[in-house]
Amino acid sequence: MYISNYRRRSEAVFLVFFIFLTLCVGRLLFIQFFRSDYLTAIANKQHNQLVELEPRRGAIYDSSLKIQAYNLSMDSLYAVPTAIKNKEAVIDQLLPILGSQRTYLQDRLYRKKAFIWIARKLSPEKSDLIKKLNIKGLGFVKETKRIYPNSYLASHIIGFSGMDNVGLEGAERDYNKYLSGTAGWAIFLRDARLKKLDLWEKMVLPVDGLDLVLTIDEVIQYIAERELDKVYKSSRAKAASIIVMDPHTGKILAMASRPNYDLNNYSGVSKDSMRNRSICDLFEPGSVFKIVTASAALEEKKVKEEDMINCENGAYRVGGRILHDHKAHGLLTFKQVIEESSNIGTVKVAMFLGADTIYRYLKAFGFGAKLGIDLSGEISGMIIPVRSWSKSSITAIPMGQGVGVTALQLVSAISVIANGGQLMRPYVIDSVRNNQGQIIKQNKPMLIRKVISVDTALRIKKILTGAVEEGTGRMAKVSGFTAAGKTGTAQKLEANGTYSHDKFIASFIGFAPAEDPMLAMVVTVDEPRGTYFGGTVAAPVFQRVAGDVIRYLKGNEIPAESLAR
């Protein structure tokens, strides 16, 4: 009986162990054949770390290869919240260093994650202080931060890139595909404590971004911005812009707008300050537009410089309105009409030419269409087709009313006079290069169209030289050089469609030296307070910028007092 019971017990125990062994074997077989991929993936995740290898973002240079934007390596702080035990103590230690809100750190550290960013691209000082704390669960990743050494200079051309090195404004955005490069990756091995080892299993190296070379010159840009800033502040203007161009090639040597902003600190900056007014602001040009009427009249051989025009002593009824000049004139030669900026004389010439001819020359000079500058945001401006002109249009459009233009169109138009009659495509990007200096893409001067003959351009040049020497542009005279140009003072439109009597745009377009132009320029000042005439507000800016820039281009030393202005 005892032996029989013992045998049954033994068999029962054996059966239990056999079933257990069978289950174990079955479980092992299941894991081996059905769960191996899943478990291998977990093991790889624990012991392998995939790290993105950041490419070098291309630098941005001026035309003399002076650096305007580059990337600097910095530490970014991350946390492994699951590895941090006393989170409040860690927060207390980080708060005085990071200067962030407690609620922000609490939100980050109390998440159930294996990785979360705490602070990106820290200064070396902050990084060193955190490293000295030696807090378990905190780590650093090397990232690069975009640095703009000249802060405000050329901000509307260069633009900026964001935290992840993606271009958001200006050339940084428009040429991001060249600058950004291609990220690489590597799989690094980790030990049982998840500490990264200096061993990698697989790696694909990043492809660095290409460098961008601008046509702007840092020195010319500084001179232009210095003087623009001066008039913007002294006249308490709403806005202002300036463009300096090589009239023969279309290269932009300087371009600036006010208000502007610091490229290194763009958070909180309004869209209004970021706007590149030189290419995207529409305004009525006023008397600077008279160069089109004058060019058309000479090109069509309808008038000569010495032809006499009756300017009606400053008041002339035509087209259902009374035209006025800023001061009364009687008989003036055609040359004097432009020099003295007579509205009446200009309109009389325009009426003699006819609406179709005026419109044809407006289009030929580039108004009403985009010029194709290699920056985004350019607008086409506005000119009304002849079929939509009213009876008074012929009395308004030739003197710069009833049309909308950009500063870029004005500087391109005056360049037509300066270079002998050719409309050139303006551009700000000289080339795209790799980090060995090899040119990948090169921009070259491009002719849009021939507008007027060389003879007409020379004759208009003499008239515009007279406008500076003896006419309304006398304050644009450049010491040591001749200059040619035209002033403009345009009334702004009110919301009800009438012209304002206290809001103006003062402007000046010109080139120098007049006999062999090295630069063309436009200066616009929006709503200057106090004096508001183009000849007293914008012309002096031209005079100071042109003088210093020509001396610089000729290799002459710029006087110390000029640089200190």
Q: Work out whether the CA dihedral 88, 90, 96, 102 comes out positive or negative.
A: negative
The model's pTM is 0.83
Contacts of 264 (CB under 8 A, 6+ apart): 147, 148, 151
Q: Which of 180, 257, 287, 342 is catalytic?
A: 287
CB 110 within 8 A of CB 81: yes
Per-residue pLDDT of 229-249, as tens digits, reads 999 999 999 999 999 999 999
Higher pLDDT, 517 or 205: 517
Contacts of 266 (CB under 8 A, 6+ apart): 160, 169, 274
Instruction: Give percent above pLDDT 70 in the chain.
Output: 89
Instruction: Give percent above pLDDT 90 in the chain.
Output: 59
User: Which residues does residue 504 pair with via DSSP β-bridges, in sequence order?
Assistant: 491
Per-residue pLDDT of 306-323, as tens digits, reads 999 998 888 988 877 888
The whole-number pLDDT of residue 199 equals 44
User: Which residues does residue 167 pair with via DSSP β-bridges, in sequence order?
Assistant: 161
Stretch 152-181: mean pLDDT, rounded?
Answer: 93
Give the DSSP letter of residue 264: T
Higher pLDDT, 185 or 509: 509
Cα gap 293→334, rounded to integer Å: 11
State the fold for domain 218-563.
Answer: Beta-lactamase (3.40.710)
Instruction: Count how many Cα atoms sit within 13 Å of the Cα of residue 83 in the half-sphere of its side chain.
Output: 14
Q: Where are the domains of the chain?
A: 50-84+98-214, 218-563
Per-residue pLDDT of 424-440, as tens digits, reads 999 999 999 998 889 99
First to last CA, the chain: 120
Six-digit token string for 77? 């702080």
Q: Confirm or reject CATH 3.40.190.10 for domain 50-84+98-214, answering yes or no.
A: no
Six-digit token string for 116? 């979360």
Return the closest-CA partner of residue 353 out of 286, 311, 301, 291: 301
Q: Is 287 a catalytic residue?
A: yes
